[in-house]
Amino acid sequence: MLLYLILPCTFSLLDIWTICDRDWSSQCKSVIQATIVNIFSALWYYRNQIRFHDSKRNWKSAVNNIISAVNLSGNNTSKVSNSSVKDFITLKKFDVNIHSPKPVSIKEVFWSPPYFDWIKCNTDGAASSTTSACGGIFRDSSSNFLSCFAENLGGCSAYLAELSAVMKATKIASQSN
């Protein structure tokens, strides 16, 4: 009965659980499952506190309890993540350490703005066995976004993708004076 009061009638528990069947890594999937279970557990607990103990609870404490329980589950699992940005964002929302499938060295990179009245363009090119792409972003000395580009190059090497990014950035800079 409580589920029908909280959720629209078009949802069922099965519909909610199918969120886990999307293309998540095994670590992210276990974090999402822990989130769903802990949401229902918190709803049940706080409902019982109100009903049987006449105790009003702050919703922020419920959210904090859910996040800390999910954090504990996600950090203590032996399951691994992948390199998906979607998974990365989901795991970081719960402050879960990412378990890489193989040892990875992480190198922190700092961006520094250009000199006053200059514009900086950062470019990149990448290729896989089937496709390649390049892109770039222009920023001013205050780190303000000015322009960007991204282009699918079809099939070429990573070296040509990098060169294509530099040539495209040079063309844009030339056209923009």
How does pLDDT run across 140-177, given as a tens digit for each residue? Answer: 998 898 999 999 998 888 899 999 999 999 999 999 88
d(CA 115, CA 123): 18
Q: At what angle do helices 26-53 and 59-76 cross, to 10 degrees?
A: 150
Mean model confidence pLDDT for the chain? 83
Spans of all domains in the chain: 2-93, 119-175
Give the closest residue to 162 by CA, choosing from 127, 130, 119, 131: 127
- The yes-or-no verdict on residue 1 having pLDDT over 60 is no
Distance between CA 34 and CA 20 in Å, rounded? 10
Which amino acid belongs to residue 127?
A
For residues 49 and 70, give the distance between their C-alpha atoms in angstroms, rounded to a whole number: 22
120 pLDDT band, cuts 50/70/90, is very high
Residues 41-85: tens digit of each pLDDT: 888 888 888 888 888 777 888 888 888 888 898 889 888 888 777
Instruction: Assess contact for 153 and 132: CB atoms under 8 A.
Output: yes
Burial status of residue 22 (CB atoms within 10 A of its CB: 0-12, 13-18, 19 or more): exposed
The per-residue pLDDT for range 80-118, each reduced to its tens digit, is 888 777 888 888 888 888 887 776 665 667 788 888 989
